[in-house]
A and B are shown apart, each in its own frame.
With several copies, the nearest count.
Chain A
Amino acid sequence: MRLHEHEGLDIFESAGIPVPRRGVAGNTDDALIIAGEIGYPVVLKAQVLVGGRGLAGGIQTVTTPEELEDAAGKLFSAEIKGLPVRKLLVCEKADIHSELYMGITIDGFTGRPVIVVSKEGGVHIEETARIAPDKVISFYCDPAFGFYPYQARMLLRRLGIVERLLAICADVLVRLYRAFVQYEALIAEINPLVILKTGYQGGLLAIDSVIEIDNSALNRVKLPLPEMIERIENPLERKGREIGVTYVDLGGDIGIISSGAGLGMATMDIIGERLRPANFLETGGGITEELLYKCMELVMMKIDLRAIFINVYGGINPIHEGARGVVRYIKEHNVTIPIVAKALGNHQEETWEILRAGGVHVVTEAPTEIAVARLFELVGAR
């Protein structure tokens, strides 16, 4: 679960990392009050969960209440990369001397947290990593051992940081690591960590946060935050989460239901050769009659749908039970668009029988390409 910038800054603050004075506003009036308390100039930052927000106009510095009213009004009515702006973070403007980048993620291949630091903070950090990898220091940490100040100092010395700054930057990096572990994060990033011109706040200020919590750990991480589900903007994707499946909304008009992420992606790729998928829906391993009924309902919510393609395997899933749900939905809602299904594995014959009785075009050969060819025929795709 990706956290909003302001939620991440709250976590940083509780971890003892210096953060700017700030407040979150849901409307322009609140933004004015917060800015009044902080003192101008302030920075307005759209709280949208998307990268490249700054370049898309989502960050504005204002020096007077009038400027704030103007900028906040525009931001609240704008969309940043397709997402509505529901909240603004109003922040003190830091007196920037220079910037650092600090980030921690998990490397899948080594199974270790990787700590990354660079003197080139800001939006160009990835570019720096590509063209000047020597300016980006990475450290693969042993999670059983932890990450200690001496290791942080070693990394930061390699960036040329010395004397008092060395100790306080190392302290921030260790605190970032502790927060990363405590909140079971997949990503925790300060970008940038600002070195101020004055000694205020110990001379450092974390002015942006990126934190993503491991979804599988959400139930044991103590977070005073809104539920995952409230963060999903797309109504269909939110409904997918409600019924317990993965639903990704796409631009096309062919509905897809698959059991298994890999199979779902392959199906999408094969269909995408000639048609445009409307969605990616993956049931996971919990198929029941009720679940597939709801999956049908969800897929059918997309307007102008031309056909549905079902691709499921009976391994952990009782696909014959799922088939009953599909057929029940078809009958109750008198579905007329073509539905093609490939269903193999345990209980396959029973599944075919149920689906055929419900008017579904069943393909019994193994290659998905053959079943998709049938779909292409039925909707007249060339």
Chain B
Amino acid sequence: MGILIDDATRVIVQGITGKIGSTQTRWMLRYGTPVVGGITPGKGGTIVEGLPVFDSVAEAVKQTGANASVFFVPAAFVLDAFYETVDAGIKLIVIVPEHIPVNDVMRMRAYAAAEGVFALGPTTPGILVPGKGKMGIMPGALFAPGRVGIISRSGTLSYEFAGILSEKKIGQSAVIGMGADPVILTNLPDILSLFEADKGTDAVIIVGEVGGTQEEKAAEFIAEKMKKPVAAYIAGRLSPQGKRMGHAGAIVRGAAGTVASKCEALQTAGATLLKSPIEVLDWAVNNDIR
């Protein structure tokens, strides 16, 4: 059993008739993902990559038994499609697109919480469970089955860590992109709790970035709830201090959001800090992770 994607998963692709949607559907199918259909309103009845296209999510659910959805929908249409998907009873949603207004994200987040939907993104590479499938854009060749969980704010950095590990035959139980927006649909501690509970995961890597407080909150979760070893890397040490944008954010966050604050919080919580991605190999050896 993998995290989030397992043998019961049946994936639909929203925006399947678009260029990215159709290309990524092909990659997902090649990776062995159980994709069962796609949605583009007004294009129901056509076929893309051998899959049926439906006008509405409700119809797709009815015809295919879909229970998971990955979005390649233009940013302006994501909110509408999200509501439609939740209303159709889908409980796992991955929002790949970027540039979605924060107000829309806040609405989606509240709706997902109210309806018991697990959603990732926006601006996420998605989820990849080696050997089971992937929802999103992660390049499958870089991943290998195994027992390390990876959660990353950045798509490409998740590939980097998986690639480094896979080269040394250290496989992954699941790789999850949490999304890189100021507000995301599922917070980092909630994703961590999935890995902590997963029997197929022995250890977890958090790949964070400057900004926000997700990593600081994750540190609290690690200190209080986690028993599995955690390694953490925070990108952006040399990022120039952003042009200061008023005080409100700074007041709310306090000193949080810098690489230093995140590193300190994670280290105090008992996570192993990686100063550079390649150090993940030493951590794996030291923790006897294979």
Interface residues of A (CB under 8 A from B): 2, 49-52, 101, 103-109, 111-112, 114, 116, 125-126, 129-130, 136, 138, 143-144, 148-150, 153-154, 157, 162-164, 166-167, 181, 184, 186-189, 191, 210, 212, 214-217, 219-220, 246, 248, 250, 258-266, 268-270, 272-273, 277, 280, 282, 284-285, 312-316, 344-346, 348, 365-370
Contact = CB atoms under 8 A, between A and B. Distances in A.
Nearest 10 pairs between A and B by C-beta? A262-B154, A260-B156, A261-B246, A345-B139, A366-B163, A103-B248, A51-B244, A263-B156, A150-B84, A262-B157
Interface string B146-166: 000000111111011001101
Nearest to A186: B102
Contact of A166 (B20, B55, B101, B107): B55
A344 B180 CA distance: 21
Contacts of A103: 246-248, 251
B239 A246 contact: no
B217 interface: yes
Nearest to B188: A109
Nearest to A50: B243
A116 B156 contact: no
A248 B245 CA distance: 8
Contacts of B254: 126, 129-130
A108 B183 contact: yes
Nearest to B279: A369
B235 to A, nearest CB: 4
Contact of A264 (B102, B213, B246, B251): B246
A273 B279 CA distance: 15
Nearest to A259: B156
22 contacts: A103-B247, A103-B248, A106-B182, A108-B214, A125-B247, A144-B110, A153-B41, A191-B246, A214-B101, A215-B99, A216-B100, A260-B157, A263-B159, A269-B238, A280-B239, A282-B246, A315-B137, A315-B159, A316-B20, A345-B141, A366-B167, A368-B160
B109 interface: yes
Contacts of A216: 75, 99-102, 248
Contacts of B249: 105, 108, 187
Contacts of B142: 313, 344-345, 366
Contacts of B57: 150
Contact of B239 (A2, A265, A315, A370): A265
Given A262-B153, A268-B238, 14 more contacts: A108-B249, A116-B251, A136-B251, A144-B110, A148-B84, A149-B77, A154-B58, A246-B244, A262-B152, A266-B160, A284-B98, A346-B27, A365-B167, A366-B164
Contacts of A191: 246-247
Contact of A108 (B56, B75, B125, B182): B182
Given A162-B55, A266-B157, A316 B137 contact: yes
B187 interface: yes
Range class of the B interface residue count: 35 or more
A106 B101 CA distance: 12
Interface in B92-127: 96, 98-103, 105-107, 109-110, 125
B182 A148 contact: no
A270 B276 CA distance: 7
Contact of A315 (B75, B80, B125, B209): B125
A27 to B, nearest CB: 26
B266 to A, nearest CB: 15
B265 interface: no
A11 to B, nearest CB: 14
A316 B177 CA distance: 14
A367 B248 contact: no
Contacts of B160: 263, 266, 313, 366-368
A309 B153 CA distance: 23
B65 interface: no
A154 B139 CA distance: 36
Contacts of B32: none
Contacts of A149: 41, 77, 80
Contact of A261 (B154, B164, B242, B255): B154
